[in-house]
Each structure stands twice: as structure tokens, then as C-alpha cells.
């Protein structure tokens, strides 16, 4: 019997197309960014280049990978099929068409942005029926966070287009980064200890329900503090300057405090998982290294709020480190485990793990010593190399049926 296009194994689960296209986009977009920085090509973007770079890394690369995670996880938790076949193809197409929002294509650029937002709305439409039921109450924060992600996505683009204050663009992009981080921390909090229990003999850890509750609800305090801080720091209400300055300093201090609490609470959680026990399993310790960069990133971000270190180092500890390393660990593990293959990292994959962490170090530490160009190009080239390695090694795995004959 002839298999139709939408019956191919590639369209059976969300992680296959989103990991494949996301990894491809991940190294292409950084390649373009490095060429723009080096003035080797004309800047094809109609908005601030830094805004475009930030936007595409969050709403392009990271969003694609997170959608692969999110639907795979929620389908497992709800024991139901949410996204496959034609619907998966449509969602991927909306995301792809959304990648041209800031190129100089006139009306087509705005149409591209419309498709990008349609992909977010489709995600919410698919998740609401599955997560709104009483038995999924504990998973609803995923839906709330994604709703905020969609709002910040719209505000980011409107600011970049100067429909809203363009100075607020990075505020909304950074808020979107934190939303994704918190989504990753929710999913990671479920799967990392589980993965450890599967492969480490005699593994156990102490569960802390109160800490988990804090980690679920504290992010919403952070969002409010950052929004208020961002508004007051850019306010043009000169007639109330004293109140403006006082408000900004207070909310900066609040952001510092919340960021520091996130650092402490996530570090306690991290240590409780006993990450040192993973040292013999590269495909496991890479996840713990990703979480380490998240913890460090929260500390650096809180210090950046009171002008102790540059905000760029803090943000890239959370993005290249927290998101990048954790994402790389998850896509290598999920791609193997969910296609029925042995969950063992190849030597080339382990090499990529090491290169990626070195890239994080370069991007976070070198700017502290004013070595910005080395930070940009060194980390960027390392990132490209790692995702090219993933793309080459995992294309066959993601595109072909499971060797055990199972449908997913």
C-alpha cells in the first residue's frame, strides 16, 4: 500500500519536523548574524539588527524546539494524540512563513508576521481542550505561560516595527526568553529526575512540593516587576520625575530580589537532583549542565539589575547556556528515545556537548574583559558547528520510521 505524504513517520510526532527545521534554522540564522556583524553582507533587515537577532532566536529557533518538546510532553501526560499529520504540517508551515517578518518585503513582511502569530494561536487552540480539564490542573501553568508568550510576541514585533515604543522591543523579547525558560523548567522538572531514575542504579532524590509551588508561581511576580520597571524606566512623564526615578529604582531592586530568589530556589532544586551522579552518562549530564547555566544566569541577571555586570553576559548565560545547552541535550535524547533507538550519545555528539558549553563560556565571560568580538564570533562559530553536527547525525533518525516498527 502506498503511504500518503501526511502518513509519513515524519508527521507522526511534533518533535520530528520541529527539531529538524529548528536545528537547520538555528545554524543558518546565526551564520547570517555573524556575516552581518562582520559587514560581509548587506544587512537585509528593515529593523534594528540586534532586535531582529533576538527576535528570531526566541520566536524562530527556540520556539520551534519548544513546540517539539511541548506537544510530545503533553501528549504523554494526557495519553492522547494532539498534533500529527495535516495539523502538524499546517503549524510548521505557519512557523516557517513567519520567519520573514522583518525582511524588506513590504506588505508581505506584515503578512509573514501574521502567520507567525497564527502559529501561536493554533498552539493555544490545540492545548486548551487538553489542559483545561480538571485532571490536568497541575499542567495548566504551561498554558498560562504560552498565553503570555503569545502576548509578548505580539508586543515585541509591534515595538520592532515602531508601532509601539521601539525602545521597549528588548524588554518584550527578554520577557519572552523568561517565559520559555520557565516552560523549560516546568518540563525539565518532570523529565530530568525521571531520566536519572531510569539510567542511574539506585537513584533517588528528595521531593520538595513547597519549592515546586514557588517555582510555578514566582515567574508571574517576575513578569509584573519587569513590565513595571520597563514602563517606568522609559516613561516620558517628566512632570513626575521624582516618582519616576523612585519607581524605577524600586522595581529594579524588586527584579534583583526576584531574580536572586529564582537563583536560590533553582539551585536548591538542582542540587537535590544530585547532578554529580550523572557523570558517566553524557546524554544525561548535558541536561544538568544546561540547568547549571540557568541557575548561574539567574544570579548574573539579578546582579545585572543593580549594574554589577553587563546585562548581555547574564542574558546569554540564560539563552546560549540555559536554553541552548538544555535544548541540545533534550533534542539528542528525545530524538533517540522516541524513535526506538538506544539512548546513548555518540562520540561526535559528546564532542558537540563540549563545544557548546565552551561557546557559552566564551559568550558569557569574554565580554566581562571587553573582548566582545571574540565572544561574538567564538561562540557563534561553536554554536553553528554543534547544530550542523546534530543536523548531519540526526536527519536520518528524524525522517525515517522507527526500527522497531511502532508508529511514532
d(CA 143, CA 281): 32
pLDDT greater at residue 48 or residue 23: 23
Q: What's the Cα-to-Cα distance from 181 to each of 121, 149, 150, 199, 399, rounded to whole Å?
A: 20, 11, 15, 25, 28
Determine contact, residues 255/222, Cβ cutoff 8 Å.
yes
The pLDDT of residue 172 is above 80: yes
According to DSSP, residue 3 is labeled P
What percent of the chain stands above pLDDT 70? Answer: 95
3-class state of residue 73 by DSSP:
helix
Q: Please write the tens of the pLDDT for every residue from 220-276.
A: 888 888 888 777 766 554 344 444 454 446 777 888 888 899 999 999 999 999 999
Q: What is the pTM of this model?
A: 0.91
pLDDT for 243 equals 43
Q: Please write the tens of the pLDDT for every residue from 189-208.
A: 888 888 888 888 888 888 88
Q: Please write the tens of the pLDDT for every residue from 244-258.
A: 454 446 777 888 888
Q: What share of the chain is helix, strand, coil (3-state, %, to 5)?
A: 80, 0, 20
The pLDDT of residue 2 is above 60: no
Q: Please write the tens of the pLDDT for every residue from 289-304.
A: 999 999 999 999 999 9
Determine contact, residues 286/311, Cβ cutoff 8 Å.
no
Burial-class residue 48 by CB neighbours within 10 Å (0-12, 13-18, 19+). middle
pLDDT for 244 equals 47
pLDDT for 238 equals 38
Q: Output the average pLDDT for the chain.
A: 88
The pLDDT of residue 352 is above 60: yes
The pLDDT of residue 377 is above 50: yes
Q: Please write the tens of the pLDDT for every residue from 210-222.
A: 888 888 888 888 8
Phi, psi of 339 (to 5 degrees): -115, 15
Instruction: Return the closest-CA partner of residue 221 out of 265, 189, 187, 190.
Output: 265
Confidence of residue 103 (pLDDT cuts 50, 70, 90): confident
pLDDT for 234 equals 61
Q: Please write the tens of the pLDDT for every residue from 121-154.
A: 999 999 999 999 888 888 888 899 999 999 999 9
Amino acid at each position: 500500500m502506498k503511504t500518503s505524504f501526511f502518513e509519513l513517520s515524519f508527521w507522526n510526532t511534533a518533535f520530528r519536523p520541529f527539531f529538524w527545521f529548528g536545528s537547520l534554522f538555528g545554524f543558518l540564522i546565526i551564520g547570517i548574524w555573524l556575516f552581518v556583524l562582520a559587514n560581509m553582507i548587506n544587512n537585509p533587515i528593515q529593523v534594528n539588527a540586534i532586535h531582529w537577532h533576538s527576535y528570531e532566536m526566541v520566536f524562530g529557533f527556540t520556539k520551534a524546539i519548544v513546540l517539539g518538546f511541548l506537544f510530545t510532553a503533553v501528549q504523554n501526560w494526557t495519553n492522547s494524540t494532539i498534533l500529527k499529520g495535516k495539523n502538524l504540517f499546517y503549524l510548521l508551515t505557519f512557523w516557517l512563513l513567519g520567519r520573514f517578518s522583518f525582511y524588506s518585503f513590504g506588505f508581505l513582511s506584515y503578512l509573514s508576521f501574521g502567520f507567525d502569530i497564527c502559529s501561536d494561536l493554533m498552539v493555544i487552540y490545540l492545548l486548551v481542550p487538553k489542559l483545561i480539564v480538571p485532571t490536568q490542573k497541575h499542567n495548566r501553568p504551561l498554558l498560562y505561560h504560552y498565553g503570555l508568550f503569545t502576548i509578548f510576541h505580539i508586543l515585541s514585533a509591534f515595538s520592532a516595527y515602531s508601532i509601539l515604543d521601539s525602545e521597549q522591543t528588548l524588554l518584550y523579547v527578554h520577557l519572552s526568553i523568561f517565559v520559555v525558560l520557565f516552560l523549560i523548567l516546568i518540563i525539565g522538572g518532570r523529565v530530568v529526575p525521571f531520566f536519572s531514575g531510569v539510567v542511574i542504579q539506585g537513584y533517588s532524590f528528595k521531593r520538595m512540593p513547597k519549592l515546586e509551588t514557588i517555582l510555578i508561581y514566582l515567574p508571574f511576580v517576575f513578569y509584573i516587576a519587569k513590565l513595571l520597571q520597563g514602563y517606568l524606566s522609559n516613561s516620558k512623564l517628566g512632570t513626575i520625575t521624582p516618582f519616576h526615578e523612585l519607581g524605577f529604582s524600586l522595581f529594579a531592586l524588586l527584579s534583583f530580589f526576584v531574580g536572586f530568589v529564582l537563583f536560590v530556589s533553582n539551585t536548591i532544586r538542582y542540587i537535590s537532583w544530585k547532578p554529580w551522579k550523572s557523570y558517566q552518562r553524557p546524554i544525561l549530564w548535558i541536561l544538568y549542565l544546561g540547568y547549571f547555566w540557568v541557575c548561574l544566569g539567574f544570579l548574573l541577571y539579578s546582579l545585572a539589575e543593580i549594574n554589577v555586570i553587563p546585562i548581555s553576559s547574564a542574558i546569554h548565560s540564560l539563552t546560549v547556556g540555559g536554553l541552548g545547552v538544555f535544548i541540545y541535550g533534550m533534542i539528542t535524547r528525545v530524538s533517540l528515545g522516541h524513535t526506538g533507538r538506544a539512548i546513548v550519545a555518540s562520540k561526535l555528539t559528546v564532542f558537540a556537548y563540549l563545544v557548546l558549553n565552551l561557546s557559552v563560556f566564551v559568550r558569557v565571560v569574554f565580554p566581562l574583559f571587553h573582548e566582545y568580538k571574540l565572544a561574538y564570533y567564538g561562540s557563534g562559530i561553536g554554536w553553528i558547528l554543534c547544530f550542523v553536527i546534530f543536523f548531519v547525525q540526526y536527519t536520518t533518525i528524524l525522517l525515517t520510521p522507527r526500527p522497531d516498527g511502532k508508529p511514532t
